[in-house]
C-alpha cells in the first residue's frame, strides 16, 4: 500500500497537467464546434498538422514562438477549408474528417521524408523547446505553487482560452448566437443570425486550437516530429469534449481527467504492477457512460414533456366539454 500511495506526487500532477494540455486545447476546439452544430472529427489531423508545421516553422524562422503562430494559422486555414467545402459544396463533414485524418498522417511523413531523407522522425539541434516559465508570485505559494507554476506559455494559454471561451459562449451575445445555431440552425437564421459565419468561425478557431495542441507536442513537450505524433489524442479530445458536455469548464476538467489517467498509468507501471492500460481505460469508459446519461436525460425530458402536454390537453378538454 505504501508503494501505491507514493505514486501521488507533485511530479505526477505536473506531468498530468502537461499531458492534459494538448487534449484540452483540441477538446475546447471540438466543444465550440459541437456548440455550433458542426461535428468536427478532424481534430486528430489538425493536431498532427500543427505538430508538423509548428516544428518546421520554428526551424525556418529560428523562433519557436513564431512556430506556434504559424501552426495555429495552418490549423485555422484547414478549418476554413472545411467550412468552405461544407457550406459551398455540402460535403459531409464526417467523410471530410475521415479523408483529412488519412491525408495529413501520410502527407506529413511524405513531406518530412522528401525534405530530410528517409527518416522516421526529425529534429534539428537549432530548434529551441518553448521554455517553462516560473510565474513570479504564484510559484512561492506553498503546496499550490509547484503545481500551478513552471509550465510553458501554451499551458497557461490553454487555461486562458478556457476562461475566455466560457465568457464568450455564456455571457456574450455572439456566443449565445453561436449556441443558438447549434441548437436549431434554421430557427437561428430566421431571427437574422448569420449561421454560416458563426459555424465557419467555430471551425477556424477549433482548427487553430487543435493545431496549437499539436505544436505543444512537437516544440512544447518534446523537440521532434515523428510519424503520427498525435497518436489518437485528437480522438481523446473528442471524447473529452463529450465528457465535459461541451461546456468549457467541463471540458477543462474532463481533459485533466484524461491527462492524469495518462500520467498515472505511466507512474503506476514504475511503482506497482497494476496494468497501465486499464488505468487509461477509466476515462474512456466514463465518457461512454456520459454519452448514455446524456441520451437518457433527453429521452426522459421528452417523455415528460409529452406527459405534460397530454395532461394539459385533458385539462382543457375537461374545461370546455362543448368542443
Partner 1 sequence: MNNQRFRKLLDSILVPLLAILSGLVVMGILILILKKPLFESYAVLFSKGFGCEAYGNCIFITTLERATPIILTGLSAVVAFRSGMFSIGQEGQYLLGAAAAAWLGYAIHLPPILHPLVLIIAGMLVGAGYGWIPGILKVKLGVNELLATIMLNSIAALIIEYLVQFPMRGDRSTTAHSPVIDESAQLMSFLPGSKWGVGFVIAVIAVIVIFIYLWHTKHGYEQRMAGQSRKFALYGGIHSDNAAIRAMLISGALAGLAGAIEVMGVHRRIMTGFSVGLGFDGLTSAILGQTHPIGVFIVAILFSGLKLGAQLGLQLNLEIPRELGGTIIGFIILFVAAGKLYEESIVRVRDWFTRRRGSNLKGESR
Give contact residues for partner 1 (rule: CB under 8 A): 39, 41, 85, 89-92, 94-96, 98-107, 109-110, 113-114, 118, 232, 235-236, 238-239, 242, 275, 277-278, 280-281, 284-285, 287-288, 291-292, 295-296, 298-299
For the CB of residue 287, give the shortest distance to partner 1 in the complex, in Å: 5
CA 154 to the chain's CA centroid: 14
Pair type for strands 225-226 and 121-122 = antiparallel
Integer Cα distance of 72 and 249 in angstroms: 22
Closer to partner 1 by Cβ: residue 131 or 232: 232
Of residues 276, 280, 274, 289, the one with CA closest to residue 258: 280
Closer to partner 1 by Cβ: residue 10 or 296: 296
For the CB of residue 260, give the shortest distance to partner 1 in the complex, in Å: 16
3-class DSSP state for residue 179? helix
Q: Provide the β-strand partners of residue 154.
A: none
Angle between the N-to-C axes of helices 153-171 and 173-183, in degrees from 0 to 180, rounded to the nearest 10: 80
For the CB of residue 279, give the shortest distance to partner 1 in the complex, in Å: 9
Closer to partner 1 by Cβ: residue 79 or 175: 79
Closer to partner 1 by Cβ: residue 22 or 150: 22
Give Cβ neighbours of residue 256 (< 8 Å, ≥ 6 apart). Answer: 16, 17, 20, 24
Sign of CA dihedral 283, 288, 292, 294: positive
Integer Cα distance of 289 and 131 in angstroms: 38
Does residue 187 contact residue 180 with C-beta atoms inside 8 Å?
A: yes
Closer to partner 1 by Cβ: residue 101 or 158: 101
Closer to partner 1 by Cβ: residue 12 or 286: 286
For the CB of residue 98, give the shortest distance to partner 1 in the complex, in Å: 6
For the CB of residue 85, give the shortest distance to partner 1 in the complex, in Å: 6
Of residues 320, 235, 249, 322, the one with CA closest to residue 284: 235
Closer to partner 1 by Cβ: residue 101 or 206: 101
Pair type for strands 151-152 and 121-122 = unpaired
For the CB of residue 47, give the shortest distance to partner 1 in the complex, in Å: 15
For the CB of residue 11, give the shortest distance to partner 1 in the complex, in Å: 24
Amino acid at each position: 500500500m505504501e508503494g501505491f500511495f507514493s505514486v501521488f506526487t507533485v511530479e505526477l500532477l505536473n506531468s498530468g497537467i502537461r499531458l492534459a494540455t494538448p487534449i484540452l486545447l483540441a477538446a475546447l476546439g471540438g466543444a465550440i464546434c459541437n456548440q455550433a452544430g458542426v461535428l468536427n472529427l478532424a481534430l486528430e489531423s489538425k493536431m498532427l498538422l500543427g505538430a508538423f508545421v509548428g516544428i518546421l516553422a520554428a526551424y525556418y524562422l529560428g523562433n519557436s514562438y513564431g512556430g506556434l503562430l504559424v501552426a495555429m494559422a495552418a490549423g485555422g486555414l484547414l478549418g476554413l477549408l472545411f467550412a468552405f467545402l461544407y457550406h459551398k459544396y455540402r460535403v459531409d463533414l464526417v467523410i471530410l474528417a475521415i479523408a483529412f485524418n488519412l491525408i495529413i498522417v501520410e502527407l506529413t511523413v511524405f513531406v518530412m521524408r522528401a525534405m530530410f531523407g528517409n527518416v522516421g522522425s526529425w529534429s534539428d539541434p537549432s530548434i529551441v523547446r518553448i521554455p517553462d516559465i516560473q510565474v513570479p508570485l504564484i510559484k512561492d505559494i506553498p503546496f499550490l505553487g509547484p503545481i500551478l507554476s513552471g509550465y510553458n506559455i501554451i499551458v497557461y494559454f490553454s487555461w486562458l482560452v478556457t476562461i475566455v471561451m466560457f465568457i464568450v459562449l455564456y455571457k456574450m451575445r455572439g456566443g449565445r448566437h453561436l449556441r443558438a445555431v447549434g441548437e436549431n440552425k434554421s430557427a437561428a437564421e430566421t431571427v437574422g443570425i448569420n449561421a454560416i459565419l458563426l459555424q465557419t468561425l467555430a471551425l477556424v478557431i477549433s482548427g487553430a486550437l487543435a493545431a496549437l495542441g499539436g505544436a505543444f507536442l512537437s516544440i512544447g513537450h518534446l523537440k521532434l516530429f515523428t510519424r503520427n505524433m498525435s497518436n489518437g489524442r485528437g480522438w481523446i479530445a473528442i471524447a473529452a469534449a463529450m465528457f465535459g458536455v461541451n461546456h468549457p469548464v467541463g471540458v477543462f476538467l474532463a481533459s485533466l481527467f484524461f491527462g492524469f489517467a495518462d500520467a498515472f498509468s505511466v507512474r503506476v507501471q514504475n511503482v506497482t504492477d497494476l496494468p497501465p492500460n486499464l488505468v487509461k481505460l477509466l476515462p474512456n469508459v466514463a465518457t461512454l457512460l456520459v454519452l448514455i446519461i446524456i441520451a437518457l436525460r433527453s429521452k426522459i425530458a421528452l417523455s415528460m414533456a409529452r406527459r405534460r402536454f397530454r395532461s394539459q390537453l385533458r385539462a382543457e378538454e375537461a374545461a370546455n366539454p362543448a368542443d
